[in-house]
Structure 1
Amino acid sequence: MAATDETVGAEVLGPLARGTTGPLRTAYSGLVCDLDGVVYRGAGAVPGAPDVLRRLGSEGMRIVYATNNASRLPSEVADHLESLGLRVTAAEVVTSAQAGAAELATCLPPGSRVLALGGPGVAAALTEVGLDVVAPSSPGVNEQTDAVLQGLGRELTVADFEAAARHLTNGAVWVATNADDTLPLEWGLAPGNGAYVRLLADTVDREPRVVGKPHAPLYRAAVDRLGTPPQLTLAVGDRLDTDIAGAVAAGLDSVWVLTGVHRPSELLRRFDGCVPTWVIASLSELEQPYAAVLRADGVFTCAGGRARVSTSGLEVDPGPARPIEVVRAGLAALLDRVMARQPSGVDVERAAEQLDGLLEGSPGA
């Protein structure tokens, strides 16, 4: 990967310092792509995203789509993407149900009985790896099972959770596809799989092995599906707490695209030491050179945009830079204060909020 030349008197900052002289996409051969907030919002496409992904695929980049949604079949996800203008097969979709089934297949012999607590995607994933699916409503549900794979199922009943609790109490292996607390719907937030996982955890006084984002197994399954070296595989997502954290846990480079729910200030609001490799405003920036952040005398610059932290807060001079490049400089300046753990008298979370407005009305392309 070619880094941008350092300017005289400037030093490269750790986070957000990497850059490319050519298009960012040329640094990688594989892409693990999140869906909601990156490719689509609800049923409709994120503007321009399908076009970018189509071009990347035609230029030889291998792409898989990774989702924490365990209820849908990979074919259903592929059909949704096809409706947005992408050419995608079920084999190019990796779900947390598949990651969970793969996890169980490593510790159980073929043909082991597994209670499929969730939607159709959970049962299908177990069948794919040669495990015997036990439905909560089946006549043999009270017979001994070796494991429980729990994913979101919109049709699950109280009796289904009672059956799962019985087997977990008797020592069945327990894998949860994901622990998302909420599920975004058109009217707002509904309980996600994590809410139901906690219900069972409180009941049986034990915790499951979770495989979905922000944990590493889903990303590892995606890399295995791609067949690309991890160091040449890029994970793209819009959420810091799932997509970016999961990529970091799996040892992958990550690109945080600001087309979803998390705005720039979120990086400071929930900072836990996890920093994305790259920050872009839209997927189109994967096709462009990426300007690194440089530091000199407490001033952080990116493509001519400047930012520094003073006693009055974050001072920004856009100069000739695009809004996303100013955002990178501002984030780097604030991260520098936080990571140095030096008292500054500056509320970095509040200071970061001014970066959110820089991207309003700007596609970043």
Structure 2
Amino acid sequence: MNGDSVECWLTDMDGVLVREHEALPGAAELLEQWRRKDLPYLVLTNNSIFTARDLSARLRHSGLVVPENRIWTSALATSTFLANQISPESNAQGSCYVVGEAGLTTALHEAGFIMTETNPDYVVVGETRNYSFEAITKAVRLINDGARFIVTNPDATGPSSEGVLPATGAIASLITKATGRDPYVVGKPNPMMFRSALNHLGAHSMQTAMIGDRMDTDIVAGMEAGMHTILVLSGLSSRADIADFPFRPNRIIDGVFELLDEPLIGDADVDVRGSA
């Protein structure tokens, strides 16, 4: 498959379209190219803190126009997955105890779930900057009492201006250690997230390309979902890193500016490898 035969696009956000809230070379132009050609696409992120509306506004501040219906988060993927787990014959609303932020609670509410601390069907753990001992203790006890354990994404750390922060995967490991229960993890690298995105678009994997900057999440999940995979070197991966993995992307590019029909002026001078 080459760029001309791709009918649908999925792309990671950080390291592909933006870096530290600054749009990367070619990102705005690529989004406009997809809009002009009326190509379906989604911007994916494992971050479950923000709603799609919040992320659309944040991207707009970076100079990128991405409508909220073109954003797919691990929170949306999780709510879609759980909604499909509820038997339609039961006529019952599912219930959740959530450790997370508005992006996750909003997605679950919109999928019809009730938030409760009393005998929930699920304990759902997502990203938050306000993990509390009380909330984690409540999650442990509810899981021990029979609630099913769901995690939005496996990322153990997240970035901040001061350095790395413990993230969803780290908190999930704490709960697993306390309960002896492993969670079901919806976000990347589980291809479930990509399949839910494809279903949301009504697209087929054989005509879809995935653009990402991480071999261990974006590329492996895209490959397992049956998509054409494109690794960009504008984020976390370098060419040297690729040798550490037993699989390969279909294409390797320096940045998304290489996917433009009309090259950016001076794009040959753009250095995107410094953060790799």
What's the TM-score once normalised by structure 1's chain length? 0.69
1:50 and 1:84 in contact (8 A); partners too: no
Q: Indicate the residue corresponding to 1:104 in structure 2.
A: 82
Offset from partner CA, 1:66-97 (integer Å, 9 cap, x none): 11001111111111122233332221111111
Q: CA deviation at 1:263?
A: 0.6
The 3 A distance-change label for structure 1 pair 362 and 216 is closer
1:94·1:221 contact (CA, 8 Å) conserved in 2?
no
- Write out per-residue CA displacement over residues 168-202 of structure 1, whole angstroms, 9 at most, x where no aligned residue: 11111111101111101122211121100100010
Distance in 1 (alpha carbons) for counterparts of 2:227 and 2:258: 19
Does residue 1:75 correspond to 2:53, yes or no?
Answer: yes
Structure 1 gap ranges (5+): 2-19, 135-140, 290-323, 325-358
SS at structure 2 position matched to 1:116: strand
In the TM superposition, 1:13-28 aligns within 5 A as: 20=2, 24=3, 26-28=4-6
What residue identity is the alignment partner of 1:203?
Answer: A
Q: 3-state SS of the aligned residue for 1:145?
A: coil
Tell me, yes or no, if the aligned pair for 1:70 and 1:119 is still in contact at 8 Å: yes
Structure 2 residue ranges without an equivalent (≥5): 263-267
1:195 to 146, 159, 170: 170
- Who is 1:122 aligned against? 104
Give distance in 2, aligned partners of 1:56 and 1:284: 13
- For the 8 Å contact 1:101–1:149, the answer to whether it is kept is no
Question: For 1:216 and 1:261, how far apart are their aligned partners in 2?
Answer: 20
Name the residue aligned to 2:151: 176
Whole-Å separation in 2 of the counterparts to 1:57 and 1:283: 15
Percent sequence identity over aligned pairs: 29
Residue identity in the other structure for 1:181: A
Aligned to 2:265: none
Distance in 1 of aligned mates of 2:9 and 2:195: 12
Q: Please say if residues 257 and 283 of structure 1, whose CA atoms lie closer than 8 Å, have aligned partners that are also in contact.
A: yes
Structure 1 residue 288: deviation in Å? 5.6
Structure 1 counterpart SS, 2:25: coil
| TM-score of the two chains, using structure 2 as the length reference | 0.90
1:362 Cα deviation after fit: 7.0
Partners of 1:150 and 1:248 lie apart in 2 by: 26
Structure with larger Rg: 1
Preserved contact between residue 214 and residue 249 of structure 1 (Cα < 8 Å): no
What SS does the corresponding residue of 1:56 show, helix, strand or coil?
Answer: helix
Q: Tell me the equivalent position of 1:145.
A: 120
**In 2, Cα distance between equivalents of 1:97 and 1:191:** 18
| Pair 1:165–1:59, CA change in 2 (3 A) | same
| Counterpart among 241, 250, 253 of residue 277 in structure 1 | 250
Q: Secondary structure at the match of 1:185?
A: coil
State the match for 1:286 in structure 2.
Answer: 259
Secondary structure of 1:213's aligned partner: coil
Distance 1:120 1:49 in 2: 27
Picking from 63, 76, 85, the partner of 1:85 is: 63
Task: Answer yes or no: is the 8 Å Cα contact 2:52–2:69 preserved in 1.
Answer: yes
1:1-365 alignment, distance < 5 Å? 1=1, 20=2, 24=3, 26-109=4-87, 110-134=92-116, 141=117, 143-268=118-243, 270-271=244-245, 273-287=246-260, 361=271
Could you tell me how far apart the structure 2 residues matched to 1:61 and 1:133 are?
Answer: 37
Secondary structure of the corresponding residue to residue 188 of structure 1: coil
After superposition, the CA RMSD in angstroms is: 2.0
Q: What is the number of residues matched between the two proteins? A: 264
Q: Residues of 1 paired with 2:181 and 2:134: CA distance?
A: 20
